[in-house]
Structure 1
Amino acid sequence: MQVDGKSGKKLILHIGCEKTGSTSIQKFFRINRPLLEKAGFYYPTVLGLENHTKLAIYASNADNKLRQFIKEKDREIYRDLDSLLKEEIERTSANTVVMSNEWLHSRLQATNEFSKLKLLLSSIFESIQVHMYIRKQDDVACSLYSTAMKSGQSFPFPIPYGKPYYYNYNSIFDNWSKAFGMANVFVHIYEKGCLEHGDVVHDFCKVIGLEDLSHFTMPTLENTAFTDEGLKVIREFNKSNQGMPENLRKLKMAELSEKFKGSNSLLDKHKDELAGFVEKYAEDNQLLANKLGRAKLFEDST
């Protein structure tokens, strides 16, 4: 431990964004935790065994809806999270620590939330890199809908109203840049042609300096997209089984998800409305592209 209290270690902080393969990244680091530590990369457990949800909840304000996820038995953990995390980091010989949680993208918005997070992390790590993957807004909206159906919802496909922060990558980038410095925030495009081997796990590992994955176990990829018929069947199933016990609902949903996995025509069916939605972010997308030195933010943008 260094005199100033810092570990001398480097932190790679993966913040999502949501719907860009975060679960696959988190599963890779969980199932390979011992091997990764030997390779010099440590994935903490005190923040969550797979998804580091406690990090976002810790930084959130009292009025943030994330607070609803604090279980009574875990209140002591949140109170002592700074010391518990420091102790865990001190125990590893790995020089690089990786943390991952997509709520950091969507749920932290207030300046003091970013300040609280920075205060915690900068007290432990010598250097901090923030990494975020972004995906074209209409693709995200369609993916979110499939996820909603899988979780038990039954509403028709909604065109996002207004201009939510959730999709405003320029504002998200600016918030993280203000807190951690623009030079320390890295944006990656979640498009098959932009990803190493067309895969987000391979891409993220290459980004952090872990290129040879031959000795590691790759996670099973989860396809949350459903065919058009599948969306209709699952929506009706959800409507008709509101009172079904959650464990049974999940079992049935797993069967339906496997049976109806595939692509759908949501983008085509709602092409004009979604184009109007994406247009709301055209200026912000270009501003971010300029900051990143790109001609345009997404490869399939016109």
Structure 2
Amino acid sequence: MSVKLVQVSRYYGTQPAVQDINFDIHTGEVVGFLGPNGAGKTTTMRMITAYLKPSSGKIEVCGHDVVRAPLAVKRITGYLPEQNPLYPDLYVREYLRWMADIHHLGKRRKQRIDEVIALTGLGKESHKKIGMLSKGYRQRVGLAQALLHDPEVLILDEPTSGLDPNQIVDIRQLIRELGQRKTVILSTHILQEVEAMCNRVIIIHQGRIVADGQIEALKQQAAAHHMLEIEWAETLADGWWRNVPGIQQARALSPHQWQLVATDAEELKKNLFRYALQNNLNIISLQTRMRSLEEVFRQLTQTESIP
């Protein structure tokens, strides 16, 4: 087990940032850590990397307690924070040499710098000042420093921020490869990135874990309420769906298309056909749809339940 949190809470004064969170993450897992702004993601990541002490509870990284052995934890973790703390006046290689010395790489310094430059695609930019780089390449420098000491655990906060589509594909592939032999925890607001890179997702809301599991399992769990999409030949008044038994919620996608939520999809289909027949309406299409990760996320992280 690489990362273990037991009943972890963190307060800023009397304000709770995270409360009683528990999860285990193993080597070989790439875990998406999701939540709205202010949910406690960054606080949790900073505690795992031993940059912030928990107010209560216990965090272990590869068997090391983050409070009792913070230096040991920092030696085996690589951290890319959302606000990448780079030095614009340093050259890329100069910055990486400095970081390598902080990690006491010694004779391995040049080899590791060359390796992470190649891994992150910084070859053509490695002799430039960091301040002259695009945001995407600065992000790559941050990822390179997180990988420099070959950590067992990688904590990545918005790792694809600022990258163009081609760069995103490259970094996705790199993270998937790293996840085969390391523990990777990544936070991102781009839910498609989570589906592309992660085999598990943890969702935090208002400082508490509200979901933890495989992505497809979470979708199935959320699908206790079925989602259907219907297209009418006619334009219907906004409240038409209230006259159809079994519809819990409805949303107009266009003047003719509607998204419907029901607990019993098959029963609702019968009711819709009956409603169409009684009102001389024509249904062009009617289909049940699997929920996306974005819809699961919205359902779990909004105060009012929104399927």
Q: TM above 0.5, one fold?
A: no
Highest relative contact order (Cα 8 Å, sep 6+), 1 or 2? 1
TM-score range, shorter chain: 0.3 to 0.5
More helix by share: 1
> TM (normalized to structure 2)?
0.33
> TM (normalized to structure 1)?
0.34
